[in-house]
């Protein structure tokens, strides 16, 4: 049960940090969150844990916060800003992947202790980055489009929850399917039964986290800044 209780606390910490980033830095903080969240999610996803006897990957919480961020940007600043934020996250992950692969190409000094663990983590990144970049672009632009469509249909201030959760149902399913297929399908370390568990838990966890984030986004939407 430790993983469950620690996981709940972990989600709460992510929500608090997300709110703090926006409260302290405004719209710039949302872009910053997207920047480091895309990178951290792809590092965390290399670790698998068991919860209730089911294998799942880490990274779902902070990755789900990317949808929170683009939905909040879309709500407050419009679809054009949300699409710009998606491209910003794409560039951040792409640049990180390129730079870290160049770092790993160096011959380490004798006695170096960092090269091997970095190779273990970032050596997986090209495959994970391809999976993440593909899933990220497809699902995030889908999320922006669906959110905008729902905003036209359910534009009331009290209907924010419909826009948030309605846009994530489809976009996160597509994201999980694309990511898990590229990252884990046909991988010798992940047989099909594990792949199915990872796919289902990835989607369910992301969706549950998104639903749980609804009051967090309502709180974030109420923030007021002098320059806005």
Q: Which residues pair with 57 in a beta bridge?
A: 48
Sign of CA dihedral 99, 73, 218, 159: negative
CB 177 within 8 A of CB 142: no
Rounded to an integer, what distance in angstroms lies between the CA atom of residue 80 and that of residue 38? 20
Q: List, for residues 201-216, the tens digit of each pLDDT value.
A: 778 888 888 889 999 9
**156 to each of 4, 18, 160, 214, how far by Cα in Å?**
36, 24, 7, 15
**63 to each of 16, 67, 72, how far by Cα in Å?**
15, 8, 15
- What's the pTM value of the predicted model, to 2 decimals? 0.87
User: Of 127-136, 145-154, 205-214, which gets the smallest average pLDDT?
Assistant: 127-136
Rounded to an integer, what distance in angstroms lies between the CA atom of residue 101 and that of residue 151? 41
Q: How confident is the model at residue 187 (pLDDT cuts 50, 70, 90)?
A: low
Q: List, for residues 60-104, the tens digit of each pLDDT value.
A: 889 889 999 999 999 999 999 999 999 999 999 889 888 988 998
pLDDT: which is higher, 199 or 214 = 214
Tokens of 9: 């606390």
Tokens of 87: 């491209």
Backbone angles phi, psi at 41, to 5 degrees: -60, -40
Q: List, for residues 22-56, the tens digit of each pLDDT value.
A: 999 999 999 999 999 998 988 887 787 887 777 77
Backbone angles phi, psi at 118, to 5 degrees: -65, -35
Half-sphere exposure in the Cβ direction for 220 (13 Å, CA): 31
């Amino acid at each position: 049960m430790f993983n469950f209780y620690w996981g709940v606390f972990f989600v709460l910490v992510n929500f608090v940090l997300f709110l703090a980033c926006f409260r302290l830095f405004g719209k710039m903080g949302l872009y910053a969150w997207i920047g480091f969240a895309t990178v951290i999610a792809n590092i965390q996803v290399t670790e698998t844990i068991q919860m209730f006897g089911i294998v799942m990957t880490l990274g779902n919480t902070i990755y789900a916060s990317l949808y929170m961020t683009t939905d909040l940007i879309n709500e407050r600043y419009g679809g054009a800003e949300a699409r710009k934020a998606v491209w910003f996250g794409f560039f951040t992950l792409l640049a990180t992947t390129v730079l870290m692969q160049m770092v790993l190409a160096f011959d380490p000094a004798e006695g170096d202790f960092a090269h091997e663990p970095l190779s273990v983590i970032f050596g997986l990144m090209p495959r994970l980055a391809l999976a993440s970049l593909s899933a990220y672009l497809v699902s995030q632009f889908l999320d922006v489009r669906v959110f905008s469509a729902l905003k036209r249909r359910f534009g009331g201030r009290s209907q924010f929850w419909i826009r948030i959760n309605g846009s994530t149902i489809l976009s996160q399913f597509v994201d999980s399917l694309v990511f898990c297929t590229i990252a884990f399908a046909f991988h010798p370390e992940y047989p099909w039964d594990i792949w199915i568990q990872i796919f289902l838990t990835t989607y369910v966890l992301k969706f549950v986290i998104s639903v749980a984030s609804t009051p967090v986004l309502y709180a974030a939407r109420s923030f007021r800044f002098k320059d806005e």
